[in-house]
Structure 1
Amino acid sequence: MAFKRVLIVLVLILLSVKMSFAQDPVVRKKVDSGKVFSLEDLQQMVFRYHPVIKQAALLSESARAKVLQSLGYFDPALKAGFSRKLFGDTEYYNKWNSELKIPLWLAGADLKLGYDRNVGNYINPENRTGQQGLSAIGLSIPLGQGLIIDARRSTLRQSKIMVEYAEADQLKQINGVWYGIVKDYWNWYYAHKQFGLVNEGLDLAQRRFKALSAQTLIGDKPVIDSVEAYITVQERMIQKEKTAIELQNARLILSNHLWNNEGNPLELPVEAIPQNTTLAIGRPNPMLLDTLLGQAANQHPELLKLRSKGEQLAIEKSYRQELLKPKLNLIGNLISNRTGFKSNVPENYDFNWSNYKFGIEFAFPLFLRSERGKLREVKIKQLELDYDIKQFGREIRNNVIASYNDLSAYAAQHAVQVKSIENQQILVNGENQKFSLGESTLFLINSRETKLIDMKIKQESMVASYQKTLAELYYKAGTREIMN
């Protein structure tokens, strides 16, 4: 019996030493003394330095660049040409032709300023100008097709609308990125809380094992209780290792979104801890649902994109309808020998209504099949777009309501879980008291304690799910919660 007692003592000492090495006080100390990294801190870093957020901002810049390209159709254009032929001491021709064309927004007209000088022995008489040349000022006005809208005005208007489309797409991308980041943050929150609760359970099991070991050595408790207590320690050590890896991975995933002002990636420190929001869980205000539904109906990025596309198609439709008209262009120029403002020119060679060039251009395809086909295609796209707007509007509304219902359900479940944890804690305390009086077993204590830990972990899971659903609610409404 003495040998058996010594063997038991040695086993208990070895188990106690092994258990002390598994305590991992460094990690626990870092977690307990860490600095809070709140969601607001994350938001500030993301919206300042995240490369995807910066990339999304380029969408509107690209659209504005296309507006600038479209304005190029209204840039004044200067063209000039010179040619001369001299052969056998004979000047066949000496031609200088130049024109400044200024596109006008009004009526699709073009203002033209020109100067021609065509001299030589073999110049066509209708083009000969004399040694001083001829100056001209005139207009080209479309009286039929192109009077209301033409290709360049259509392109410019559509490119301006594309800026609104790009801004809506930019908002959609930013909201999507932020929603994914918020989910990663609350996954890290849950992993951190789970690791802490498992660590607390391990501490309780270790302290109980030490107490039972001491009682076993003096003969107050049977050896089997110490063995059972150490089995519980081992189970919770395994669970701790598992949750430690999950916490490490969650920290790495959240680190994907951390960047500094120089564009270098950052790592979330091991000592960082998430904010505590257990007390903030509550039933959402019904006014929130009404606000988000109204905002979704008016400002949801997807609907804004569709409406911008509708405005674009409306312009395209007007342009295609304009193409059904015949081309009828009126071209008129006043001409003069004047080469400068101070030139002395006889009155009958100066700018007046008797010196002019005039012309009319007319063209009209007889069947208009191409134009009618393109117009019909635009109308079909408008119908498709109307159906898309109705369908997306309904889906967005229902998605917002569904997320709100999930949020309310999580709030209700959390309230029940808090009460259940309080009751379970009473059972654990009572079981410990009964065990100290010899009226209970270690198995019951471990079972009730394990269930309490699981219930607390489930509570933190509800907190994380509530916060992720809250972010989802704002995302489905086409916006995001602003952290203050």
Structure 2
Amino acid sequence: MNLKGMKKQNKALFILIFFFFQYGTAQDSLTLSAQEFISIVKNYHPLAMKYQLQNKIAHSEITRARGGFDPVLSGKLGEKNIDGTPYYRQKNLELGIPTWYGIDITAGYNHLEGEKLNSSDTKGGLYSFGISVPLAKNLLYDKRRAMLDQAKFALKMTEAEQSVLTNELLLEAENTYWEWVQNFEIYQLQAKAVEINRKRLHLIKKTFEYGERAAIDTVEAQSQLQSFELKQKEAYLNFIKSTQQLQLFLWKDNREIYEITQLIYPGDNLSDHSAYSDFEFLLREFRNKEVNNHLSILYYNQKHYILESERRLKWQSFLPKLDFMYNFFNKENYPSDYLPLFDNNFQYGLKLEIPVFQREAKANYQMAKMKIEQNSFDTQLKKRELDIKIETYKNELTNYQIQISLSQNNFVNYQKLLTAEETKYSNGESSLFLINSRENKMIDAQEKFISVRTKFLKSYNKLKWMKENFTL
């Protein structure tokens, strides 16, 4: 879907939700719990699917690397005839078998006949068995083995990376959910305040009509109501925005966007989360967590193995290329005579190549070593980053837990002050201005209480999903 289409869709969603919340009280509504939401993200979000496909691609890379050791069967059929003279007719079948240690084994059958053959060609049927052995370069390590090793390391590297990315996606999704819950609870708080102040204004107007209150009290009550109505509209807008943000994570199994066509409310409350009782156990778990066991460090360790494999391969370039090749032949319908190997029916070759200056080999080897050193620096930085993150999340969690207790007490105290002020007002010992002032502070304290709870849950989630990135 193009950007223009997405904008139209978001605009339509906004209008739809606005209509439902303002005028759709008769419509059915849906609730969405945090567990259901995370399950949807895990199973249907495109990024989660993409990360799973990346792991499958890494498995396929191993299969492709193993293809370098696959036997190769080849055949050849040919004939040459000029002016009725049959120069040659040839049938050839050969099987090549590469082995792990760089040795190649071949076996074949060749049938050749004609009147214009080369003097080195053997007429008739000829069986052959051959072997090619690197005696220096590529004996201990070669490109085929390096590709397979690197593919295996890359699989573990990819699995670690995709696990970290998946957990980051789930962390973002869960925190988005609790921000949505926070905005909904604040909206409910402001809606309740509006309802209370409407009743208060109605009551004060009645008492003014009976001559028990001054006219200025109706103005005071009206101003307070309008203030809360403005806050309610702002809270409602924030809730709508967070609902739109939530929709970014909602997808169907056919990779289509999940359209919200009904009222949708949070199925969980901030106060019901298990984090308030479980956070101490989570903190205790991290006392025994070694940063070296984090999947991000596993990623860099596997990358080190890949770079080390490349270094070993580059080191082979310093060795001279010395290859030995031997073929044993046996003519068709002739008895076999295998031994001694260099007595009859054989072919061998010895090939030597030595780069004079080896400048390319030196440069490649130095670059391979420097890449290993770079990865070592990256690993050290990542360890330090993880240490700081863990300590930061732990400190945040502990601090917000204390703030929750303080903000709750603060809210309760303001609630008591408001109740006391209302009692004094009913006895004629206070004013509506003081009641409104107490009420404003109580609402602000309650909003602060909701906000601190959300911050606590978000810090808890950061630490919880960080724990998921540690290997056993």
Tell me if both proteins adopt one fold, taking TM over 0.5 as the criterion.
yes
Give the match's secondary structure for 2:43: helix
Distance 2:69 2:441 in 1: 76
Partner of 1:140: 132
Q: Which shows bigger deviation, 112-121 or 262-271?
A: 262-271
Structure with greater Cα Rg? 1
Decide whether aligned partners of structure 1 residues 435 and 194 sit closer, same or farther in structure 2, where only a CA change above 3 A counts. same
Distance 2:254 2:115 in 1: 72
Decide whether aligned partners of structure 1 residues 183 and 238 sit closer, same or farther in structure 2, where only a CA change above 3 A counts. same
Decide whether aligned partners of structure 1 residues 261 and 55 sit closer, same or farther in structure 2, where only a CA change above 3 A counts. same
Distance 1:368 1:294 in 2: 50
Partner of 1:254: 246
Contact in 2 for aligned 1:283/1:407 (Cα 8 Å):
no
Distance 2:66 2:386 in 1: 37
Q: Which shows bigger deviation, 463-472 or 298-307?
A: 298-307
Determine whether 1:316 maps to 2:330: no
Determine whether 1:218 maps to 2:210: yes
Distance 2:468 2:35 in 1: 20
Determine whether 1:125 maps to 2:114: no
Decide whether aligned partners of structure 1 residues 417 and 386 sit closer, same or farther in structure 2, where only a CA change above 3 A counts. same
Contact in 2 for aligned 1:30/1:270 (Cα 8 Å):
no
Distance 1:326 1:104 in 2: 21
Give the match's secondary structure for 2:263: coil
Summarize the alignment of residues 337-348 of structure 1 with structure 2, pairs less than 5 Å apart: 337-338=331-332, 344-347=333-336
Query: Deviation at 1:78?
Result: 2.4
Distance 2:379 2:439 in 1: 55
Query: Deviation at 1:478?
Result: 6.2
Gaps spanning 5+ residues in structure 1: where?
1-23, 339-343
1:380 to 367, 370, 375: 370
Distance 2:20 2:320 in 1: 88
Contact in 2 for aligned 1:85/1:94 (Cα 8 Å):
yes
Contact in 2 for aligned 1:136/1:333 (Cα 8 Å):
yes
Query: Deviation at 1:39?
Result: 1.3
Distance 2:264 2:460 in 1: 27
Give the match's secondary structure for 2:436: helix
Contact in 1 for aligned 2:102/2:139 (Cα 8 Å):
yes
Decide whether aligned partners of structure 1 residues 194 and 267 sit closer, same or farther in structure 2, where only a CA change above 3 A counts. farther
Q: Alpha-carbon deviations, 1:87-144, whole Å to 9, x = none?
A: 3333223333432111111x211110122233323222221x223x201012111121
* Letter matched to residue 391 of structure 1: L
Decide whether aligned partners of structure 1 residues 118 and 279 sit closer, same or farther in structure 2, where only a CA change above 3 A counts. closer
Determine whether 1:40 maps to 2:6: no
Q: Alpha-carbon deviations, 1:203-233, whole Å to 9, x = none?
A: 1111111111111111111222122111211
1:171 to 130, 140, 163: 163
Query: Deviation at 1:448?
Result: 0.3
Give the match's secondary structure for 1:323: helix
Determine whether 1:288 maps to 2:282: yes
Distance 1:237 1:38 in 2: 29
Decide whether aligned partners of structure 1 residues 304 and 372 sit closer, same or farther in structure 2, where only a CA change above 3 A counts. same
| Number of aligned positions between the proteins | 447
Determine whether 1:87 maps to 2:82: yes
Distance 1:295 1:262 in 2: 39
Distance 2:130 2:175 in 1: 66
* Letter matched to residue 270 of structure 2: T
Contact in 2 for aligned 1:252/1:267 (Cα 8 Å):
no
Q: TM-score, normalised by structure 2?
A: 0.88
Give the match's secondary structure for 2:318: coil
Question: In angstroms, what is the RMSD of aligned CA positions?
Answer: 2.6
Q: Alpha-carbon deviations, 1:372-396, whole Å to 9, x = none?
A: 2211111111111112111210111
1:422 to 409, 412, 415: 412
Same amino acid, percent of matched pairs: 26
Decide whether aligned partners of structure 1 residues 302 and 103 sit closer, same or farther in structure 2, where only a CA change above 3 A counts. same
Determine whether 1:270 maps to 2:263: yes
Contact in 2 for aligned 1:334/1:351 (Cα 8 Å):
no
